[in-house]
Amino acid sequence: MKKVKTHFKVNGKPVELELEPRRLLVSVLRDDLGLTGAHQGCDTTNCGACTVLVDGKAVKSCTMLGVQANGKEILTIEGLAKEGQLHPIQKAFIEKQGLQCGFSTPGMIMTSCWMLNQNKNLSEDEIKRMLHGNICRCTGYQGIVEAVKYAQEMMKKQEISKQ
């Protein structure tokens, strides 16, 4: 199959790859770039374990072709920590035990990142609604919701301290 030259940025670094057009972004990230934080839980757009940010929007990377990333900026869980400091959402998932087995965690965190970048005044119901595309098979969502609420408060405090 003819390959297509594809340029994009991942976690701030420019990438240039020759990709078969049929390949999914999740496999490009995992197999070509070694970014294995985006997990493949279903391949049917149900579980959300593969969620990354594409130009700031939460996208299930099993529903996007690698070539569609051309010209875009991708943020994966590996790019979230800055200067050796975990992102507040990562800290909150640890603090509030939102991790469980960890398989769904990168997707949960990236969706939370997208949510909280838009709005840091989410109610518990809004958080639950916005996370509905991310499934945790360990079945306990309370720690996850608590983690997002806690992250929201930490991020608000950080913004106030910067003013």
Residues that bind ligand FES (CB under 6 A): 40-43, 45-50, 60, 62
Cα 102 to Cα 137: distance, rounded to the nearest angstrom: 10
Give me the least distance between CB of 36 and ligand FES, in Å please.
13
Distance CA 155, CA 118 (A): 12
From the DSSP assignment, how many helices (H) and strands (E) are in the chain? 5, 5
Rounded least distance, CB 38 to ligand FES, Å = 8
Within 10 A of 157 (CB to CB), how many other CB atoms are there?
A: 11
- Given the complex with ligand FES, which of 105 and 152 has the nearer CB atom? 105
Shortest gap between Cβ of 25 and ligand FES (angstroms)? Answer: 10
Q: Residue 26 in 3-state DSSP? A: helix
Q: 45 or 119: whose CB is closer to ligand FES? A: 45
Nearest residue to ligand FES by CB is 62
* Rounded Cα–Cα distance for residues 94 and 99 (Å): 7
Q: How far is the CB of 95 from ligand FES (least distance, A)?
A: 26
d(CA 57, CA 51): 10
Taking the least distance from each CB to ligand FES, the nearer of 37 and 48 is: 48
Alpha helix segments (H runs only) across 33-85? none
Residue pointed to by tokens 């391949």: 43
* Distance spanning both ends of the chain, measured CA to CA: 53
Q: State in angstroms the smallest separation of the CB of 150 from ligand FES.
A: 25
Specify the residue, 78 or 95, whose C-beta has the smaller distance to ligand FES: 78
Q: For ligand FES, which is the closer residue by CB, 44 or 123?
A: 44
